[in-house]
């Protein structure tokens, strides 16, 4: 391993920061998945499709507004809301009828939805590859202390804490968060004391999907926006939710950090076999804590 000697402390920090920015995206998307999983008990396989829709919508909105910096910011601001609106329609017309069904049915249903979304994307946007430039001020990278830090990754990194605090506030401090947590424990009881559980569920579902859309819109400038996006991400998001503890948003944060950081550190230490690292960690976690690191709501 002669490349081992090339690892400097600067390189290490640089890799750490890049890994954190990847964790941020994973956290944003998987916390939404976890929220839906915890409160609604829906293993939403179509969550990745909403992420893909977020990226495509961000692209379309940005190019409508001239694909410059302003276009991107408008796209980033609007795309998650469009995804949230789509999910609201889906929840009211489809999901709300299925809450009492068993998990296998829900899994099959969301899987079908994923396939439908993929074909819808193909029909609307076609099969060409698409790419969106990051806004001017976030292009290029900053080099300090021999480190090279892409500006867009730093931007992603800075968003992470806001989303985490926002979610904490939502679940711990707001009324809807409290009801949602109660509903997750005992749905019938919450209904019995006169709370309209149906709308609480709808709101939580929409918030979860909003996060998927936000994740998609945020990665749009770093990726090839194409039909395969959903499927790469949903696997990772589920793994994160599982190692974090099903339905636990903080578990998603912890899982995303572990997944993102082992990935980027693995690449630095042993690039030939880096693919293995995050998955090896998942296996280790599940051997020692089969229900995930934090308390599962299931």
Partner 1 sequence: MKRCLFLLLMMISMGLSVMAPAGVWAADEIKIGIIDTYSGPPSSYALDVLDGFKLAVDRINAGGGVLGKKITFVTRDDKFKVDLGLTAAKELIMRENVNLLVGTINSAVSLAVSDLARKEKIPFIVTYGKSSAITSAKGHRFVFNMNENTEMIGKAAAVGLAKRPFVKYWIAGDDYEYGHAVADGVWNHLKKIKPDVQLMGQSWWKVGEPDFTPYITSILSAKPDAVIVATGGAGCIPFLKAAKNTGFNEKIPIYMHTATELSTLRPLGLDAPEGVIGTSNYYFYYPETPDNKQFVDEFRKAYNRYPSFGCLIGWYTGNFIAKAYEKAGKVDAEKFADALSGLTINTPIGNLTVGQHDNQLMLPMFMGVTKKVPGFDFLIASDIITIPASELVSSPEEIKKAREQK
Vertex 234: Cα angle to 280 and 37 (nearest 5): 100
Question: Would you say the C-alpha torsion 223, 228, 231, 234 has a positive or negative sign?
Answer: positive
Q: How far is the CB of 269 from partner 1 (least distance, A)?
A: 9
Q: Which lies closer to partner 1 via its Cβ, residue 200 or residue 268?
A: 268
Q: If binding is defined by CB under 8 A, does position 297 make contact with partner 1?
A: no
Q: Which lies closer to partner 1 via its Cβ, residue 13 or residue 195?
A: 13
Site for partner 1 in 143-172 (CB under 8 A): 148, 150-153
Span from 92-100, 106-114, 132-140, 249-257 in contact with partner 1 (CB under 8 A): 132-140
Q: What b-and-e string marks burial along 60-98, b requiring 16 or more CB atoms within 10 Å of the CB? A: bbbeebeeebebbebbbebbbebbbebbbebbeeebeee
Q: How far is the CB of 254 from partner 1 (least distance, A)?
A: 20
Single out the residue of 28, 31, 46, 37 nearest to residue 296, CA to CA: 37
Q: If binding is defined by CB under 8 A, does position 64 make contact with partner 1?
A: no
Specify which residues 149 forms β-bridges with: 142
Integer Cα distance of 295 and 93 in angstroms:
32
Vertex 76: Cα angle to 54 and 30 (nearest 5): 50
Single out the residue of 214, 237, 225 nearest to residue 84, CA to CA: 214
Q: Which lies closer to partner 1 via its Cβ, residue 81 or residue 155?
A: 155
Q: How far is the CB of 153 from partner 1 (least distance, A)?
A: 6
Site for partner 1 in 70-129 (CB under 8 A): 118-119, 122, 127-129
Q: How far is the CB of 265 from partner 1 (least distance, A)?
A: 9
Site for partner 1 in 227-266 (CB under 8 A): 227-229, 231-233, 263-264
Integer Cα distance of 12 and 258 in angstroms:
16
Binding site for partner 1 (CB under 8 A): 2-3, 6-8, 10-11, 14-15, 18-19, 21-22, 118-119, 122, 127-131, 133-134, 139-141, 148, 150-153, 219, 221-224, 226-229, 231-233, 263-264, 267-268, 271-275
């Amino acid at each position: 391993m002669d490349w081992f000697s090339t690892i400097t402390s600067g390189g290490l920090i640089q890799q750490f920061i890049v890994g954190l920015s990847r964790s941020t995206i994973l956290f944003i998307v998987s916390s939404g998945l976890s929220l839906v999983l915890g409160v609604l008990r829906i293993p939403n396989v179509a969550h990745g499709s909403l992420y893909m829709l977020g990226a495509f919508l961000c692209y379309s909105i940005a190019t409508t507004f001239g694909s410059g910096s302003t276009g991107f910011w408008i796209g980033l601001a609007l795309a998650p809301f469009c995804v949230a609106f789509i999910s609201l329609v889906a929840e009211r017309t489809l999901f709300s009828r299925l809450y009492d069904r068993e998990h296998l049915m829900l899994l099959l249903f969301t899987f079908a939805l994923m396939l439908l979304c993929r074909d819808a994307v193909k029909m609307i946007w076609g099969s060409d590859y698409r790419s969106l430039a990051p806004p001017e001020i976030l292009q290029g990278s900053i080099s300090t202390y021999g480190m090279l830090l892409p500006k867009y990754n730093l931007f992603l990194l800075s968003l992470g804490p806001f989303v985490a605090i926002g979610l904490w506030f939502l679940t711990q401090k707001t009324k809807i968060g409290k009801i949602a947590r109660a509903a997750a424990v005992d749905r019938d009881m919450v209904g019995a004391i006169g709370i309209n559980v149906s709308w609480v569920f709808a709101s939580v579902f929409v918030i979860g999907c909003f996060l998927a859309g936000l994740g998609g819109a945020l990665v749009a400038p770093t990726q090839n926006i194409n039909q395969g996006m959903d499927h790469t991400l949903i696997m990772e998001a589920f793994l994160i939710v599982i190692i974090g503890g099903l339905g636990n948003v903080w578990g998603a944060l912890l899982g995303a950090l572990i997944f993102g950081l082992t990935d980027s550190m693995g690449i630095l230490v042993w690039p030939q076999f880096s693919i293995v690292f995050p998955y090896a960690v998942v296996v280790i976690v599940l051997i020692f804590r089969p229900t995930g690191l934090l308390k599962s709501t299931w």
